[in-house]
Amino acid sequence: LVKLTIDGVSVEVPAGTTVLEAAKKAGINIPTLCYLKDINQIGACRMCIVDTGARAFGAACVLPVANGMNVKTNTPKIREARRVNLELLLSNHDKKCLDCARNQKCELQQMCQDLGVDDVDKYKGKMNEYDIDDLSPSIVRNNNKCILCRRCVAACNNTQAVGVIGPMGRGFKTKIGSAWEQPLNDVACINCGQCIAACPTGALYEKDSTKAVWDLLNDETKTVVVQPAPAVRAALGEEFGIPMGTSVTGKMAAALRRLGFNKVFDTDWAADLTIMEEGTEFIGRLNNGGVLPLITSCSPGWIKFCETYYPDFIPNLSSCKSPHEMEGAMIKSYWAEKVGIDPKDIKVVSVMPCTAKKFEAKRPELGHNGLADVDEVITTRELAKMIKEAGIDFANLPDEDFDPVLGESTGAGVIFGATGGVMEAALRTVYEIVTKETLDKVDFTAVRGIEGVKEATIKVGDLDVNVAVAHGTANAAKLLDSIRSGEKTYHFIEVMGCPGGCVTGGGQPIVSAQKRMECDPKTLRAAALYNEDANKPQRKSHENASIMAVYKDYLGEPNSHLAHELLHTHYTA
Ligand code: HC0
Ligand code: SF4
């Protein structure tokens, strides 16, 4: 252990700890802007400068502790230097906070308030003016609000192994952009939104779909049906001051009803349906010498990554549509028939933790009879905005249930939202179908947790099934490379495009850099889903009575002709 003093407080921390982390331990929050734990640690913005008695101030986020160090984080000189830093940033920032997507959640805004910056025009002068890039179906980039911290660049490059955004130009003309100034839509962006999650300001945000959804809700000629994704319930509460890690399923259903949706269904239902279809596909591939490993296909950022960077694995992708697309297809076929509404008059809105789902919903592969399976996708953040706009007192709502049949799910459907959840749900069902035995211990803990690549061998009857789980596309790339090289062989793989899986998708409530030093949203939000699973009366998809009834009355068998027509698709490079 290393012993040092920070602002008069003595602390002991392991060697290699940074002064920033040591200070946090001593109860001192050193301001940061470019720092993002585990993602961007470059010491560039100079907000976290501290005085160690050395000739120059050091950047605490990259400064390792040393024995006997005496650190001052809060001297008049340091405070003044930080303020000047902020004033200079503001001199080239549009400062239109009122209509900014990040108003009240912006780290720059917060810091100006915390550090008492009271003259925002101190260095008024020439400003860069940039066009807003809003051509992508998922992501909007507004460089007028960019502070060049490079957190988005690190997320795109390192966490996602995509690297389509980076610094260009020099000096005052430096900006973040894509090669040849192309819009994000024209480069190999996978729409994951991890750049948004990393951004401290309003320079990156999702393409707004709330106006379109309000219009649908106001259109009397349409039956508007909503379905929230598994991960939304694990984080929506954060937008209303409810502690991270609390699932708000009942309040969410109540809020959706109060917003005016005609039916409040649940993507978890179709997650159970996906397990029936994908589990059957897996058993079929095993028995009939099909392409293995089978790789899950429910994360649209991952699909785009596979198509773009690993097209040789396209035959490995499951032909299953993602659950919310399956739900949309079933709403516009099975449910439409049941209630006697023309599918043309039904509009399906998905609430997703994901920005790539906006792109996915527009894919021509994902429709039926000339109608898109899903009409609009809003993120968790956009749903929170709509709830606030409607004046709904979310925190005090009663718990309500989803509407019957397409809103009924098991615990297996719920855990889809966390990395490893789809694999665990699939194993629960595949095991029982193959062995015809009851699985007593349904928790497959080997595929839980936040390790980048997880693997396990599961005994299913006579067969040792090798499974792997990757989350975040950089981890997926590592895993696929190990298969390409012949180093590893698996039967079944789950890939989710975002690190942590959907619970930390690019559409989830923003977690500030300071908060990420205190807790890990991946773990806390996943725990909310695993808790919900543990408390469900049914925890296996094939025990979902409404799914079984739909097979009996409508689809026939899993992977039947009709199931293929409605619930499966094919991707090509
Ligand atoms: Fe997910 Fe999904 S689990 S991708 O992360 O499979 O977005 O939550 O809705 O569709 O169910 C996201 C989350 C979903 C889908 C499901 C899958
Ligand atoms: Fe990179 Fe994902 Fe952002 Fe696209 S959405 S720029 S892939 S981080």
324 Cα nearest atom in ligand 1: 10
Rounded Cα distance between 300 and 322, Å, is: 8
Q: What is the pLDDT of residues 381-429, one digit of tens each?
A: 999 999 999 999 999 999 999 999 999 999 999 999 999 999 999 999 9
pLDDT of residue 384: 98
Cα–ligand 1 centroid distance for 325 (angstroms): 10
Phi/psi class of residue 253: alpha, beta or left (left: φ > 0; alpha: ψ in -120 to 50)?
Answer: alpha
pLDDT of residue 118: 87
pLDDT of residue 152: 98
Q: Angle at the Cα of 363 (from 372 to 314), degrees rounded to 5?
A: 130
Domain map (residue ranges) of the chain: 2-89, 100-107+128-206, 211-567
Rg of the Cα atoms in the chain: 25
299 Cα nearest atom in ligand 1: 4
pLDDT of residue 120: 86
Rounded Cα distance between 545 and 165, Å, is: 47
The whole model's pTM is what?
0.97
Number of Cα atoms under 13 Å in the Cβ half of residue 108: 29
Rounded Cα distance between 497 and 355, Å, is: 11
Q: Give the residues across from 175 on adjacent strands.
A: 168
Domain 100-107+128-206 has CATH 3.30.70.20: yes
**Exposed (0-12), middle (13-18) or buried (19+): which is 341, by Cβ within 10 Å?**
middle
C-alpha distance from residue 242 to each of 208, 246, 415 (Å):
24, 7, 21
Rounded Cα distance between 21 and 517, Å, is: 8
pLDDT of residue 572: 81
Give yes or no for residue 193 CB within 6 A of ligand 1. no
- Determine the residue of 134, 143, 165, 204 to mutate for testing ligand 2's pocket, defined as the one with the most ligand atoms within 8 A of the Cβ atom: 165
204 Cα nearest atom in ligand 2: 3
Q: What is the pLDDT of residues 524-565, one digit of tens each?
A: 999 999 999 999 999 999 999 999 999 999 999 999 999 999
Instruction: Indicate whether this complex's ipTM tops 0.90.
Output: yes
pLDDT of residue 573: 66
Q: Are 30 and 73 in contact (CB under 8 A)?
A: yes
Neighbours of 364 (CB within 10 A): 7
Q: Which fold has domain 2-89?
A: Ubiquitin-like (UB roll) (3.10.20)
Neighbours of 199 (CB within 10 A): 27
Neighbours of 145 (CB within 10 A): 25
User: Is 318 annotated as catalytic?
Assistant: yes
Q: Is the fold of 2-89 the same as that of 211-567?
A: no
DSSP per-residue codes, 168-195: ES-GGG-EEE-GGG--GGGTT-----HH
Rounded Cα distance between 238 and 377, Å, is: 20
pLDDT of residue 461: 92
Residue 36 DSSP class:
B
- Determine the residue of 182, 184, 204, 207 to mutate for testing ligand 2's pocket, defined as the one with the most ligand atoms within 8 A of the Cβ atom: 184
Q: Which fold has domain 211-567?
A: Rossmann fold (3.40.50)
Q: Which residues line ligand 2 (CB under 6 A)?
A: 139, 155-156, 160, 162, 164-165, 184, 189-195
In the chain (573 residues long), the average pLDDT of successive 10-residue segments reads 97 98 97 97 95 97 98 97 95 95 97 93 90 98 97 98 96 94 97 98 98 98 98 98 98 98 98 98 97 98 98 98 98 98 98 98 95 98 98 98 97 98 98 96 97 97 96 98 98 98 98 97 98 98 98 98 97 79
Rounded Cα distance between 137 and 356, Å, is: 8
